[in-house]
Structure 1
Amino acid sequence: MKKRLRYIIILFLFALLTTWLECSLENAAFAVEDSNKPKTDAVSAILFDAHRGQILFAKTSDEKSFSPLANRIMTALIIL
């Protein structure tokens, strides 16, 4: 009975330790990911993940910009 209890406790501690280690490594990966923002020379830019539905990067995305040439090029690309 004592051996079985000892085995269960060791197994529980191992599971707890691996779970904690996995969570801490995942948080560290997100911290590194946040510091690697894309560098762009554009006045404004936006990067959108359509699968998850979230904005990954935005640079002056709330300001209104007028670029009729870009609109024409994008329309031509979509049509073709």
Structure 2
Amino acid sequence: MAETTPDGSGTPDVPYEQARDELIAVVSRLEQGGTSLEESLALWERGEQLAAICQQWLDGARARLAKATGNDQDVDSDAM
């Protein structure tokens, strides 16, 4: 599950740029290989968490833009 603020606002505690940069590093380590199975699994799990955090930020930004432009009726259907 993605890390969110204690107030339940749905905004992740980790800034988007930080999550993105860490995700890039995780993917790079996985691509390089040379890690144990256990370490690879831990990296994969962290990557999944980071990807979810980035997605939350992007979904939030999309919703804010839709609201600002008056196109907030069915934001989720545009993502498909």
TM-score band by shorter chain is 0.3 to 0.5
Bigger-Rg structure (1/2): 1
RCO comparison, higher one (Cα < 8 Å, 6+): 2
Write 1 or 2 for the structure with the bigger share of helix.
2
TM-score for the superposition, normalised by structure 2: 0.42
Write 1 or 2 for the structure with the bigger share of strand.
1
